[in-house]
């Protein structure tokens, strides 16, 4: 009887062992969940880093596709006979990022903000404005149509206004040269023929009509993205650059044939 009664009783050591094992599994699962899923209240921009990078990658593919079609990069802007600016390179690559119908509706012989063209851009699907900016760069609804990725325009850059640049013109190497930079606080409509001037980059001047190079608002609250921002590289890749780079160092990356990929760094891109 005694031995039968003992065999029917639960083994306390086994119960304790299984309880500990279960707790370990629970802790592991919770830890994995916390690692993969941002907690409530976590800044939304952290969730959207891959999305913003993909936007820039799509734009770079569009630029390369334009080059394939015309054997040169798009101009920074098109001009009227009197020299006034008409349309941005962003409008010119629309057929190469899946929006040929919108491109066909634009009147390229009229300014980007003519009555007709304004109506066209205002009626454009939201995917257009979302493509040309990071989802977190403009928290205000009023800035939803503003561009978050800009060309660096100036002499000896990929966007020199007086010439049409090809990939073979890039003496510093396409993998070492900037094409586009990410900005915040942009006041530039995606269709507007205006970008970031090389002069402003070198002098590090931030006049009222110049956006600020950098990543998203509030980035210092998250170490992963606080120290760098996205750039489109001439080879089509999307990389990150340290926010500690000076304007002069960034300008060396933007100039296509100065023999100086960067100052004091052999690996400027992350």
Position 20 pLDDT exceeds 70: no
Task: DSSP letter for 232, please.
Answer: E
Comparison of pLDDT for 261 and 231, the residue scoring more = 231
What pLDDT, in 10s, does the model give residues 198-219? 887 776 544 444 567 765 534 4
Banded pLDDT at 166 (limits 50, 70, 90): very high
**For the chain, percent of residues with pLDDT exceeding 70:** 66
Q: 56: Cβ–Cβ under 8 A, 6 or more apart, which residues?
A: 149, 180, 182, 230, 232, 238
Return mean pLDDT, the chain: 78
What are the CA-CA distances from residue 2 to residues 8, 182, 235 (Å)? 10, 79, 81
CA distance 244 to 22: 47
Position 44 pLDDT exceeds 80: no
CA distance 257 to 33: 48
Position 48 pLDDT exceeds 80: no
Task: DSSP letter for 222, please.
Answer: -
Please give the pLDDT value at position 173: 92
Banded pLDDT at 241 (limits 50, 70, 90): confident
**For the chain, percent of residues with pLDDT exceeding 90:** 46
What are the CA-CA distances from residue 145 to residues 117, 186, 194, 206 (Å)? 14, 10, 14, 21
Rounded to an integer, the average pLDDT of 9-37 is: 53
Beta bridge partners of 178: 233
3-state secondary structure of 49: helix
Please give the pLDDT value at position 28: 56
Query: Contact at 8 Å (CB) between 146 and 190?
Result: yes
Token reading at 19: 């309880």
What pLDDT, in 10s, does the model give residues 171-185? 999 999 999 998 877
Banded pLDDT at 255 (limits 50, 70, 90): very high
Query: Contact at 8 Å (CB) between 204 and 198?
Result: no
Banded pLDDT at 58 (limits 50, 70, 90): very high
Q: Which residue has the tokens 């003992």?
A: 6
Query: Which of 16-25, 79-88, 249-258 holds the top average pLDDT?
Result: 79-88
Tell me the domain boundaries of the chain: 48-254
Banded pLDDT at 133 (limits 50, 70, 90): confident
What are the CA-CA distances from residue 48 to residues 39, 45, 53, 55, 106 (Å)? 14, 5, 9, 11, 31
Please give the pLDDT value at position 6: 42
Query: Contact at 8 Å (CB) between 216 and 231?
Result: no
Instruction: Of 185, 169, 188, give the one whose Cα is nearest residue 177.
Output: 169
Please give the pLDDT value at position 76: 97
Position 107 pLDDT exceeds 50: yes
Q: Which helix (H) or strand (E) holds 256?
A: none
Instruction: Of 178, 172, 169, give the one whose Cα is nearest residue 150.
Output: 178
The C-alpha angle 121, 124, 130, rounded to 5 degrees, equals 100
Query: Contact at 8 Å (CB) between 114 and 85?
Result: no
Please give the pLDDT value at position 1: 46
Banded pLDDT at 123 (limits 50, 70, 90): very high
What are the CA-CA distances from residue 249 to residues 138, 171, 183, 245 (Å)? 27, 17, 17, 6
DSSP class per residue in 60-125: HHHHHHHHHHHSSPPPSEEE-TTS-EEEEHHHHTGGGGT-HHHHHHS-TTS-TTSHHHHHHHHTS-
Rounded to an integer, the average pLDDT of 244-261 is: 84
Please give the pLDDT value at position 39: 42
Please give the pLDDT value at position 261: 61
Position 149 pLDDT exceeds 50: yes
Please give the pLDDT value at position 67: 97
């Amino acid at each position: 009887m005694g031995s039968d009664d003992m065999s029917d009783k639960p083994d306390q050591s086994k119960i304790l062992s299984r309880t500990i094992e279960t707790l370990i599994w629970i802790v592991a699962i919770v830890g994995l969940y916390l690692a993969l899923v941002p907690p409530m209240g976590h800044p939304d921009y952290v969730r959207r880093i891959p999305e913003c990078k993909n936007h820039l990658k799509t734009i770079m593919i569009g630029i390369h596709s334009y080059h394939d079609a015309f054997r040169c990069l798009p101009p920074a802007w098109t001009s009227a006979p009197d020299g006034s600016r008409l349309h941005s390179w962003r409008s010119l690559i629309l057929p190469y990022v899946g929006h040929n119908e919108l491109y066909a509706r634009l009147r390229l012989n009229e300014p980007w903000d003519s009555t007709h063209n304004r109506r066209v851009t205002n009626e454009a699907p939201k995917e257009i404005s979302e493509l040309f900016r990071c989802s977190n760069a403009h928290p205000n609804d009023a800035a939803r149509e503003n561009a978050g990725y800009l060309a660096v325009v100036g002499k000896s850059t990929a966007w020199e206004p007086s010439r049409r640049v090809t990939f073979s013109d890039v003496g510093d190497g396409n993998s070492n040269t900037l094409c586009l930079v990410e900005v915040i606080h942009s006041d530039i409509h995606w269709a507007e023929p205006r970008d970031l001037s090389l002069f402003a980059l070198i002098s590090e001047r931030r006049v009222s009509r110049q956006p600020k190079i950098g990543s998203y608002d509030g980035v210092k609250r998250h170490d992963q993205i606080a120290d760098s921002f996205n750039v489109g590289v001439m080879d089509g890749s999307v990389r990150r650059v340290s926010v500690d780079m000076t304007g002069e160092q960034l300008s060396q990356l933007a100039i296509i044939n100065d023999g100086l990929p960067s100052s004091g760094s052999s690996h400027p891109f992350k």
